[in-house]
Amino acid sequence: MLILSRVIIFLLLSVMSARAVELPGPSASAFANHTYSAGIGLLYTCVSNLYVNTSTGNDANDGLTPTTAFKTIQHADTIIPSPGTCINVAPGTYTFTVPFEPAHGGNQSSPTGYVAYRCEMLDECFIVFDGTFMGSTGQPVIGFTNPYFIFDGFDIDGGEAFMFGGIATACFDSGINDTGTPGHHIWVVNNNIHGCGIGCAPCARTFCWLGGADGLL
């Protein structure tokens, strides 16, 4: 009986361990240290920083410190962030009325070669798409026409409050048919995505994302 009990406990622990490894979705540890398995290693590091805060920020600020943060995520792209820049987004709700197509990415596939948009607290930055004015045409929430971007730790809502199932055709899009010029070396990590027709629309062959199924990337 003692041996049988030990076998049962061992099997239960094995199942629990396997589930811990295989469960899809955002990873708090990967979010904290930017490091991934499968030979990826350190994905990115912040050489310089910009800050965004929907509650206390102002797009007239310089964005260089948390107390002088921009108000909108889109404005951070207009000041032409350099490779290795992290755009640190404070928790809160950020409403997009048109698709966001960042124009200024990185320049190489290295930890200091990307421009990284990251929520300061895992999945506490809510990007909500309000594209109702677009009618039935539909658009993505975020579209990439340039390379070397990272989006880390966001909750992306394609407009579920405005239409059942959402408005956006995709949460992230880099398809040549949709954006005209596809981006590449795009990493979408540790994000909750929902309310979009497709999580990631047809992308360039070097488009990469990590995570799992059921709307969790």
Q: What is the largest CA-CA distance in the chain?
A: 72
Indicate whether 217 pLDDT > 90.
Answer: no
75-118 pLDDT, tens digit per residue, is 999 999 999 999 999 999 999 988 999 999 999 999 999 999 99
Mean per-residue pLDDT, 168-193: 77
DSSP string, 63-123: -SSGGG-BS-HHHHHHT-PPTTEEEEEPSEEEEESS-B------SSSSTTS-EEEEESSTT
CA gyration radius for the chain?
Answer: 19
> 3-40 pLDDT, tens per residue?
434 433 333 344 444 444 435 568 888 889 998 887 88
Q: Is residue 162 very low, low, confident or very high in pLDDT (cuts 50, 70, 90)?
A: confident
Determine the average pLDDT of the residues in 154-181.
78
pLDDT at 139: 83
Q: Per-residue pLDDT for 193 more than 80?
A: yes
Q: Which residue has the higher pLDDT, 110 or 200?
A: 110
pLDDT at 176: 56
A 10 A CB-CB count for 36 gives 16
Copy the structure tokens of residue 191: 């994000």
CA distance 125 to 109: 26
What residue ranges do the domains of the chain occupy? 119-134+159-217
Q: Where are the alpha helices (DSSP H) in the chain?
A: 2-22, 28-33, 73-78, 176-179
CA–CA dist 117, 88 (Å, integer) = 6
Contact present, 175 and 9 (Cβ < 8 Å): no
Distance CA 167, CA 45 (A): 34
